[in-house]
A and B are shown apart, each in its own frame.
Chain A
Amino acid sequence: MNSKNYSRGKLTDKVFKYTALAFTVFALSVLVILLVDIFSKGLARINWDFFRNLPSRHANRSGIMTAMAGMLSLLFFTIIIALPIGILAGVYLQEYGKKNRFASFIEINIANLAGVPSVIYGILGLTLFVRILHMGNSLIAGALTLALLIMPIIIVATREAIKAVPNSLREASYGMGATKWQTTSKVVIPSALGGILTGIILAISRAIGETAPLLVIGALVYVPFIPEGPNDQFTTLPIQIFNWTSRPQADFIINAAAGIIVLLLITFLLNGIAIYIRNKWYKKIKY
């Protein structure tokens, strides 16, 4: 072996190792810089009034109450629409679905839907729910749009979770004389619940951050009231943040940063819960 070549190989190896480590540290530090930047800009505005106030043209009197209320109502409707349909579809495709052309068509269809840009879902919602079904730019139109958007995530998560359930459990249930649905509802779904729950929380976290499709269906940027029913107009926290970010006055930038702090805390909390549940469930499912 040529020893000069060998040592040059070692040098390349070392150089690459430290370059790659530097890249990893760089990516992580962008995250840190982003957080530091936003907290340093917005933390001063976070106080009780910020949560309690209505939007206003005076930045320091503006608050996120209607945005938070709109976001929570929107999530409520999105979840009650998307959850049952998404879970049942996922269970059907994994547990009942046969390996035929229809099944592979559905599979490619769901993979495709997961990759459709969210703004396109906005166009779908605008045309179908807002115009054709005359729902206007209401909470329910927004919730239906978001429900379609997060359904592929719930379906894929449900399928993955059900795939992880050991076959022995199913066979034990059949052996006891249980029917297919009894086995599915009493054995398979409960065992897969941890994984399904993780997927649901991640889907909710995704729905919370969505802005573009809601802007397209005509969600308002200024809503001085709390929505009281599914037909009311609404705004959400990301839309409020977008609105504040696009204003030239520096005071509103502080508001935007403060709103982002709240949005990030919610997002991180949900993701943390999801990771916690997933880890616990993985330990349990590995019998």
Chain B
Amino acid sequence: MSLPILKKEKLIEVLMMCCSFVTVLTTIGIILILTLEAIKFFAEVPIGDFLTDTQWTPLFSDKHFGILPLLSGTLLTTTIAILVAVPLGLIIAVYLNEYASPRFTAVVKPILEVLAAIPTVVYGFFALQFVTPLLQKIIPGLNGFNALSPGLVMGIMIIPYITSLSEDALRAVPRSLREASYGMGATKFQTAFKVMIPAASSGIIVSIILAISRALGETMIVAIAAGQEPKLTFNPMESVETITTYIVQVSMGDVPQDSLEYKTIFAAGLTLFVFTFILNNISFFVRKRFQNKYE
């Protein structure tokens, strides 16, 4: 009687182990596919050209395969988003944690999180149809597709990532630290910036890294509102193309499988993956390292 039960127990355990192994296979699959196809690409295009050529024109007759224009487009929109999200997100987190009443925080935090739940295609529409026309009234001559508008909208979208994680980090700082600061006669502002933020810095850093990683990989907002012109520029007024937009553009077109043009999406995808992979790992280790700081 007891043997079948034990057997069943073991069987279920093995089944569950296989399920958790699916995640490992997913990672292996992503890395293998990106590298194997990228290797085929680099057999035809020297890696030196890929990294230094200042033009990206795989879909034209005069072909250039320099990743720099796509990279500059990606970094430009990400930088704009981070310049919006980090100050706003962090100051809101400090406000909610140090100044606002618990009731205000309880109401505002979930509403802010709605910003992160809205599908990105909606933000793309909002950037193209509302923010760009608005900016064009302020900045005459602004291109209909530009890096600024999707960058700003992306920044708004990732505010909750910064606010939520930073607020958690601030809340984890022991009360005694704050009270010691007040006891020394410090104001709320001094306490927040000289005591609380330094004490919560690891959590805040994690939130910023995750936000950068999120912005680098964002696709629909930039695909809709930033344009599809790979240009090596850091001018936010111009239209740019990001790595993600390029991947979508090629997938939607009629590029024959196994052509060099088709392989470009793997080289571009690998470049994006390397960036986000490094950032995600840094954030993971920062979090692990400081997780139990105040426990």
Question: Do the beta carbons of B114 and A268 come within 8 Å of each other?
Answer: yes
Q: Which residues of B contact A28 (CB under 8 A)?
A: 108, 111-112
From B20-28, B44-52, B62-70, B173-181, the one touching the partner chain is B20-28
Give B28 Cβ to nearest chain A Cβ, in Å.
10
Q: Which residues of B contact A117 (CB under 8 A)?
A: 216-219, 244, 272-273, 276
With contacts A110-B23, A124-B30 known, is A179 near B5, CB below 8 A? yes
Secondary structure call for the B interface: helix
Question: Do the beta carbons of A20 and B92 come within 8 Å of each other?
Answer: yes
With contacts A128-B29, A209-B121, A238-B119 known, is A119 near B248, CB below 8 A? yes
Q: Which residues in window 4-23 of B have CB below 8 A to A?
A: 5-6, 8-9, 12-13, 15-17, 19-20, 22-23
Give A208 Cβ to nearest chain B Cβ, in Å.
7
Give B12 Cβ to nearest chain A Cβ, in Å.
5
Question: Do the beta carbons of A115 and B276 come within 8 Å of each other?
Answer: yes
Q: Which residues in window 83-111 of A have CB below 8 A to B?
A: 84-86, 88-89, 91-93, 96-97, 106, 108-111
User: Is the CB of B71 closer than 8 A to any CB of chain A?
Assistant: no
Counting contact residues on chain A (CB < 8 A from B), the size range is 35 or more
Q: Which residues of B contact A112 (CB under 8 A)?
A: 27, 277, 280-281, 284
* Chain A-chain B contacts (Cβ-Cβ < 8 Å), number: 248
The listed residue (B5, B9, B24, B95) touching A109 by CB distance below 8 A is: B24
Give B190 Cβ to nearest chain A Cβ, in Å.
7
Residue of B20, B159, B266 most packed against chain A (CB within 10 A): B20
User: Is the CB of B156 closer than 8 A to any CB of chain A?
Assistant: yes
B-contact bits for A248-279, CB 8 A (1 contact / 0 none): 00000100110010011001100100010000
Q: Which residues in window 114-143 of B have CB below 8 A to A?
A: 114-115, 117-122, 124-126, 128-130
Question: Do the beta carbons of A123 and B92 come within 8 Å of each other?
Answer: no
Question: Do the beta carbons of B130 and A96 come within 8 Å of each other?
Answer: no
With contacts A24-B108, A88-B15, A118-B219 known, is A257 near B251, CB below 8 A? no
Question: Do the beta carbons of A256 and B125 come within 8 Å of each other?
Answer: yes
Q: Which residues of B contact A115 (CB under 8 A)?
A: 210, 213-214, 276, 279-280, 283
User: Is the CB of A55 closer than 8 A to any CB of chain B?
Assistant: no
Q: With CB as the reference atom, state the residue of chain B lying closest to A257.
A: B125
Q: Which residues of A contact B259 (CB under 8 A)?
A: none
B residues neighboring A (CB under 8 Å): 5-6, 8-9, 12-13, 15-17, 19-20, 22-24, 26-27, 29-30, 33-34, 37, 88, 91-92, 94-96, 99-100, 108, 110-112, 114-115, 117-122, 124-126, 128-130, 156, 159, 185-190, 192, 210, 213-214, 216-220, 223-224, 244, 247-248, 251-252, 257, 265-266, 269, 272-273, 276-277, 279-281, 283-284
28 contacts across the A-B interface (CB closer than 8 A): A13-B188, A16-B192, A28-B111, A28-B112, A34-B118, A89-B19, A106-B23, A109-B23, A110-B23, A115-B214, A117-B272, A117-B276, A118-B217, A119-B219, A120-B217, A122-B251, A123-B247, A148-B22, A148-B26, A209-B122, A210-B119, A212-B219, A215-B251, A216-B247, A238-B119, A263-B119, A264-B122, A271-B117
